[in-house]
Amino acid sequence: MSDAVFTVAFYVFSAVTVLAALGVVLKKNLVHSALLLILAFVGVAGIYVLLQADFIAAVQILVYAGAVAILVAFGVMLTKRGDIRESNLANRQKWPALFVVAGVFAVIYALLGQTNWGPLAAAGPEDSVGILATLMLTDFVVPFETAAILLTVAMLGAIVIAKEVKNSK
């Protein structure tokens, strides 16, 4: 891939991500926000592809654009009462929030921009999935197992909190 195509693709994906993310916050209809959220996830996945992180990009689309977005849509469907067109309202702190966010962004941008990140690593491996799989069960076995337990706890917790309170007894 030539550098020019690469650069154009980067700016396209970045623009899609940022604009979609802005839409998530600014749209008044929660369903529109949820759909734009999917678009933002896809934009991020595109950037991962440009970074040659193919596995992460696939996971990003499967888990975030797929599962999480459907979860959000279900959440909207099951909890919404009243008019859907007015379901994602902003409070009165819009302008102070913009001010704070712009300040934080300026500080982070300035500090990260001045940093010399050092030489980039050589091109990524051909078979990233295979290497990741080996690493997860060797070097990263403790965090891998911890993550498994974490998921069990999350599922248990979701059942405990969400299941309706019985009035019997």
Where on the chain is the footprint of other proteins (CB under 8 A)?
Answer: 107-108, 110-112, 114-118, 138-143, 146-147, 149-150, 152-154, 156-157, 160-161, 165-166, 169
Query: Given the complex with other proteins, which of 4 and 161 has the nearer CB atom?
Result: 161
Q: How far is the CB of 146 from other proteins (least distance, A)?
A: 4
Give the number of C-alpha atoms closer than 13 A to the C-alpha of residue 102, restricted to the C-beta side.
Answer: 6
Query: Given the complex with other proteins, which of 5 and 161 has the nearer CB atom?
Result: 161
Q: How far is the CB of 2 from other proteins (least distance, A)?
A: 27
Q: How far is the CB of 141 from other proteins (least distance, A)?
A: 7
Burial degree of 76 (CB within 10 A; 0-12, 13-18, 19+): middle
Query: Given the complex with other proteins, which of 123 and 160 has the nearer CB atom?
Result: 160
Query: Given the complex with other proteins, which of 5 and 160 has the nearer CB atom?
Result: 160
Query: Given the complex with other proteins, which of 62 and 147 has the nearer CB atom?
Result: 147
Q: How far is the CB of 103 from other proteins (least distance, A)?
A: 14
Contact 28, 9 (CB under 8 A): no
b/e map 87-119, b = 16+ CB within 10 Å? bbeeeeeeeeeeeeeeeeeeeeeeeeeeeeeee
What secondary structure letter does DSSP report for 118? -
**Whole-angstrom distance, CA of residue 130 vs CA of residue 142:** 19
Q: How far is the CB of 85 from other proteins (least distance, A)?
A: 25
**Whole-angstrom distance, CA of residue 154 vs CA of residue 16:** 32
